[in-house]
Amino acid sequence: MPRLPDPATLRELKAAVGKESWLESAQAVAPFVSDFRRLYHGATPLVLLPRDVDEVARILSICNREEIGVVPHGGNTSYCGAATPDEAGGQIVLSMRRLNRVRRIDAADYSMVVEAGCTLAETQAAAREADRLFPLSLGSEGTAQIGGNLSTNAGGTAVLRYGMMRDLVLGLEVVLADGRVLKGLKSLRKDNTGYDVKSLFVGAEGTLGVITAACLKLFPQPADTATALVGIDLPQHALDLLARLRTAAGDQVTSFELMPQLAVELTVKHIPGVADPLYQGTPWYLLIELSSPNPQQNLLTLLTGTLEAAAAAGTIRDAMLASSIGQAQAMWKLRESVPEAQRRHGASLKHDVSVPVSAIPRLIEAGSALVHRLAPEGDVVSYGHAGDGNLHFNVSQKPDTDIKSFIARGPVLELAMFDLVESLGGSISAEHGIGRLKAAEFARRADPVELAVMHELKRALDPKGIMNPGKVLCAR
């Protein structure tokens, strides 16, 4: 069980990073002790801002010796409280933001090495400068950092084509709990030498060690892109259209995002400059993107033809194809602003869940029935990455309802929603992780053998339990 640090240890930790690389006043540490959703308000005696891997190693070896909890902190965009220290006030926060160098880009190898504190947007931009694509793409990319993206195995809007963060990593540099450095920044596509150790740290949310740098996969830049916003009547029509698109365009189908009409209405209402480009409102909207590195692909013609055939078959009701980059960007702004519009609209209950793609219509139907029965003060706003089987099955507080009674519905609704997701063969956390928010439910629902293996790994790599205590795994 981690302990509270004494003054001598705090002095030693400050000395490990040197002048102006630590914060301790209440005002200075405030941004590091509350999570993005303001669900948790913790405390810390010290925020450390190391500049390199050696400093991180020194910090962890001190904390391990003294049994002090360490909370790695990236862009603080976690929805699950994964980067927030607890309320007891003894955990040190390790901010990664100064480890933000792009160490290497190798265009011929289609790989790059970046440090954990680079934001996702900086990483994408560095790849673009070398005429390469780093394809992870998500709404918070200007703030979220690569270390956090790796630690939560982030997903986003291009998973259909490129996979999640785990699929995009070739090698990692990790500082283990005892301060040893695992130097695994290989750029190999093939490497069958024993266990895939790096994979353990992806999705571990900083509970096994601190990722300090990563070798990432790059791809050719798209040279042809076609984007459309499509109106449909039923979620089943989304699946029919996805199948049609995949037959026509294979893995050029890059994004396939579903939004209910209410999500579009809230976004148009709350986000300046956002408009609904369809002539008639439909119950559901799809944002579709095809992309290819081949400029001769003529994807706009391909997409137009596929949508026309779908319209003739009665699968879609309306569609707008982007005829300029500006129009495509406006469609993406509509989709990416949904969470912010929901936030401005009022309180919300969030469920980041996944099911097999074919079960999406059943999830929507049965999940909506649960919301009507168990949270009648809320409206269903279930949107997200339909092509991946991942919906953010969110519920927005109805106007003029009491916020307290709405929020009080959360726990019962969540249990019922998770039961439903499990009955459909799905996951209670698709892309946002477990953090502190879902640790208890995860412990209750996980396969016992798998959970035991996770605890055994935790004990092997972090026997004193100093790494991000209370996240992912509940203490046993």
Residue 180 or 333: which CB sits closer to ligand MLT? 333
For strand 70-73 and strand 102-106, is the pairing parallel, antiparallel, or unpaired?
unpaired
Residue 58 or 335: which CB sits closer to ligand MLT? 335
| Binding status of residue 384 toward ligand MLT by CB under 6 A | yes
Minimum distance from residue 107 beta carbon to ligand MLT (Å): 30
For residue 278, give both structure tokens.
């369809």
Minimum distance from residue 220 beta carbon to ligand MLT (Å): 25
- Return d(Cα 28, Cα 95) in angstroms, integer: 13
Residue 2 or 339: which CB sits closer to ligand MLT? 339
- Give a three-class secondary structure readout of 25-43: CHHHHHHHHECCCCCCECC
Instruction: Identify residues 333-372 at the interface with ligand MLT (CB under 6 A).
Output: 338-339
Contact 241, 229 (CB under 8 A): no
Residue 45 or 81: which CB sits closer to ligand MLT? 81
Beta strand spans in 2-91 (E): 22-23, 47-48, 70-73
Residue selected from 37, 67, 101, 139 as contacting ligand MLT according to rule CB under 6 A: 139
Residue 85 or 339: which CB sits closer to ligand MLT? 339
For residue 105, give both structure tokens.
């880009």
Minimum distance from residue 384 beta carbon to ligand MLT (Å): 5
Minimum distance from residue 229 beta carbon to ligand MLT (Å): 16
Count of residues that interact with ligand MLT, criterion CB under 6 A = 5
Minimum distance from residue 221 beta carbon to ligand MLT (Å): 23
Residue selected from 73, 237, 317, 392 as contacting ligand MLT according to rule CB under 6 A: 392
Map residues 8-27 to x or -, x wherever contact with ligand MLT holds by CB under 6 A: --------------------
| Binding status of residue 283 toward ligand MLT by CB under 6 A | no
Residue 235 or 384: which CB sits closer to ligand MLT? 384
Comparing every residue's Cβ against ligand MLT, the nearest one is: 339
For strand 92-95 and strand 47-48, is the pairing parallel, antiparallel, or unpaired?
parallel
Question: Closest Cα to residue 152, out of 102, 207, 113?
Answer: 207
Amino acid at 35: D
Residue 48 or 159: which CB sits closer to ligand MLT? 159
Question: Closest Cα to residue 251, out of 273, 219, 276, 280?
Answer: 219
Q: SS3 breakdown of the chain: % helix, strand, coil, rounded to 5?
A: 40, 25, 40
| Binding status of residue 260 toward ligand MLT by CB under 6 A | no
DSSP per-residue codes, 358-414? GGHHHHHHHHHHHHHHH-TTEEEEEEEEGGGTEEEEEEEEPTTS-HHHHHHTHHHHH
Under the rule (CB under 6 A), what is the footprint of ligand MLT? 139, 338-339, 384, 392
